[in-house]
């Protein structure tokens, strides 16, 4: 099922594994079961640290879970993680063994203080480009927390649950009772959402204190997109001590599928460009503070070379002589009654991911710029009627 070149890449990726990660397949009479078995066997063939085993459980659709050191680690896939979700499977294997990019000490402490025995379902689509970010973030939370259960569900295999929760967009997060989030969300916001939804265990064992004072820098960059990355690189090349605060490296570029107007690069995609930005910034001594937001700045911002104190939402703080704001853009909301309540249940932001949920229905596209017109054209082949509002 996997081609030779991909298998060779996986051999290199899995060289980092130190302990065995087991993919445990449930029995199913579903027509797609053989495809799941074939995929997982191909993945396992690339490393002696990845094994496949069949359990005694029986499920209606293809399903497997991950075990680490002989115990389930809470990650369950219902469906076949191909398409955009193949990377989620590979990262879940790496993260299970503590490999790959994991949250830093500040976020890890917050994750471990979440209530015990939380169970979350993520409904996704293999064609959704925003889903992997949410799936992978929840998988990391699952591995770190210890008693978290995360079930990743391809909505095509669970139409009754999709109808039960009223899901009309992906990714959508649900618990036993209801859907509590729909749409993309950063790791930082996801942790806050889980804290608000499930609560924090105040009796959790206190972790070692984390140093809140991050030090002094000549320049602070707020924002981690292309502009922020450029500012950081230019600053540090001038011999200035430099820090960068960002939700995520790449910013909105992460959500851009095809990029064809970057001079000298005929074509690239958002996640690839974001990874290259990250690699370039990390090749210099820039202090990158990812999954962070500024809470307050004190000091006279009108005077250059005067020390300013920057407090972060995490409780950390630093001082700096100069601040460069490169916070970029984000998807715009209408801020009208009902909008937030109906996100994922009639309000959506991605015609590619969520368009199929509106097949045959009457749809309005708000915004007549190039993106709005392209969305309307894309939807016209799926829905019953499109109204473009400008």
Give the pLDDT of residue 300.
Answer: 80
User: Is 80 exceeded by the pLDDT of residue 182?
Assistant: yes
Question: How does residue 205 score in pLDDT terms, banded at 50, 70 and 90?
Answer: low
Give the pLDDT of residue 94.
Answer: 98
Question: How does residue 64 score in pLDDT terms, banded at 50, 70 and 90?
Answer: very high
Cis peptide, bond prior to residue 171, ω within 30 of zero:
yes
- Enumerate helices (H) and strands (E) in the chain, giving the number of each: 11, 16
Residue 205 or 30, more confident:
30
Quick check: do 213-325 and 332-390 share a fold?
Answer: yes
Mean pLDDT of 18-31: 97
Give the pLDDT of residue 348.
Answer: 85
* Residue 353 falls in the annotated catalytic set: yes
Catalytic position from the list 104, 218, 350, 378 = 350
Instruction: Please report, for residues 38, 85, 264, the alpha-carbon distance to residue 371 in angstroms, rounded to integers and kept in the order given.
Output: 39, 25, 24
Domain ranges of the chain: 4-198, 213-325, 332-390
Least confident of 185-199, 218-232, 280-294, 320-334: 320-334
Give the pLDDT of residue 276.
Answer: 95
User: Is 80 exceeded by the pLDDT of residue 208?
Assistant: no
Catalytic position from the list 128, 131, 247, 353 = 353
User: 128-170 pLDDT, tens per residue?
Assistant: 888 999 999 999 999 999 999 999 999 999 999 999 999 988 9
Give the pLDDT of residue 332.
Answer: 81
Mean pLDDT of 208-215: 88
Mean pLDDT taken over the chain: 93
Give the pLDDT of residue 148.
Answer: 97
User: Is 80 exceeded by the pLDDT of residue 269?
Assistant: yes
User: Is 80 exceeded by the pLDDT of residue 203?
Assistant: no
Least confident of 87-101, 180-194, 248-262: 248-262
User: Is 70 exceeded by the pLDDT of residue 71?
Assistant: yes
The CATH classification number of 4-198 equals: 3.40.30.80
CATH architecture type of domain 332-390: 3-Layer(bba) Sandwich (3.50)
Q: Is CATH 3.30.70.100 what the domain over 213-325 is classified as, yes or no?
A: no
* Residue 321 falls in the annotated catalytic set: no
Nearest to 154 by CA among 89, 71, 93, 102: 89
Q: How far apart are CA 151 and CA 174, in angstroms?
A: 10
Query: Please, what is the end-to-end C-alpha distance for the chain in angstroms?
Result: 46
Residue 298's CB is within 10 A of a number of other CB atoms, namely 12
User: Is 90 exceeded by the pLDDT of residue 251?
Assistant: no
SS3 per-residue string spanning 362-388: EEEEECCCHHHHHHHHHHHCCCCEEEE
Q: Please, is 364 exposed, middle or buried when counting C-beta atoms within 10 Å of its C-beta (0-12, 13-18, 19+)?
A: exposed
Q: How far apart are CA 315 and CA 295, in angstroms?
A: 9
Give the pTM.
Answer: 0.84
Judge whether 244 and 281 are in contact, CB under 8 Å.
yes
Least confident of 82-96, 285-299, 303-317: 303-317
User: 311-355 pLDDT, tens per residue?
Assistant: 999 999 999 999 999 998 777 889 999 888 788 778 888 887 788
Q: What is the dihedral of CA 67, 68, 74, 77, to 10 degrees?
A: -50
Give the pLDDT of residue 130.
Answer: 83
Catalytic position from the list 97, 154, 247, 354 = 354
Give the pLDDT of residue 217.
Answer: 97
User: Is 80 exceeded by the pLDDT of residue 365?
Assistant: yes
Mean pLDDT of 50-79: 97
Q: Which helix (H) or strand (E) holds 188?
A: helix 187-198
């Amino acid at each position: 099922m996997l081609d030779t070149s991909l298998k060779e890449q996986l051999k290199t990726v899995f060289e980092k594994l130190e302990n065995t990660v087991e993919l445990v397949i449930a029995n199913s009479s579903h027509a797609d079961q053989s495809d799941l078995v074939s995929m997982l066997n191909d993945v396992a063939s690339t490393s002696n640290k990845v094994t496949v085993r069949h359990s005694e459980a029986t499920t209606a659709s293809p399903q497997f879970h991950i075990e680490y050191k002989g115990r389930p680690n809470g990650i369950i896939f219902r469906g076949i993680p191909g398409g955009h979700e193949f990377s989620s499977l590979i990262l879940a294997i790496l993260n299970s063994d503590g490999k790959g990019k994991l949250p830093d000490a500040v976020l890890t402490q917050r994750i471990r203080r979440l209530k015990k025995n939380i169970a979350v379902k993520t409904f996704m689509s293999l064609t959704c480009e925003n889903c992997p970010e949410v799936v992978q973030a929840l998988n990391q939370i699952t591995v770190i927390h210890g008693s978290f259960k995360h079930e990743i569900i391809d909505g095509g295999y669970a139409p009754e649950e999709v109808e039960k929760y009223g899901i009309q967009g992906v990714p959508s997060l649900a618990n036993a009772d209801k859907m509590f989030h729909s749409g993309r969300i950063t790791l930082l916001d996801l942790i806050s959402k889980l804290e608000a939804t499930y609560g924090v265990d105040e009796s959790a064992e206190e972790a070692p204190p984390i140093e809140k004072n991050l030090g002094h820098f000549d320049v602070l960059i707020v924002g981690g997109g292309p502009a922020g990355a450029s500012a950081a690189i230019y600053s540090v090349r001038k011999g200035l001590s430099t820090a960068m605060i960002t939700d995520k490296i790449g910013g909105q570029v992460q959500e851009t599928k095809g990029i064809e107007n970057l001079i000298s690069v005929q074509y690239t995609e958002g996640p690839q460009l974001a990874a290259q930005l990250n690699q370039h910034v990390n090749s210099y001594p820039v202090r990158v503070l990812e999954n962070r937001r500024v809470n307050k700045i004190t000091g006279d911002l009108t005077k250059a070379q005067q020390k300013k104190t920057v407090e972060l939402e995490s409780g950390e703080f630093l001082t700096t002589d100069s601040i460069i704001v490169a916070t970029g853009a984000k998807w715009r909301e209408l801020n009208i009654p009902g909008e937030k309540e109906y996100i994922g249940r009639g309000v959506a932001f991605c015609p590619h991911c969520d368009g199929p949920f509106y097949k045959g229905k009457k749809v309005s596209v708000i915004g007549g710029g190039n993106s709005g017109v392209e969305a309307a054209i894309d939807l016209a082949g799926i829905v019953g009627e499109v109204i473009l509002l400008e």
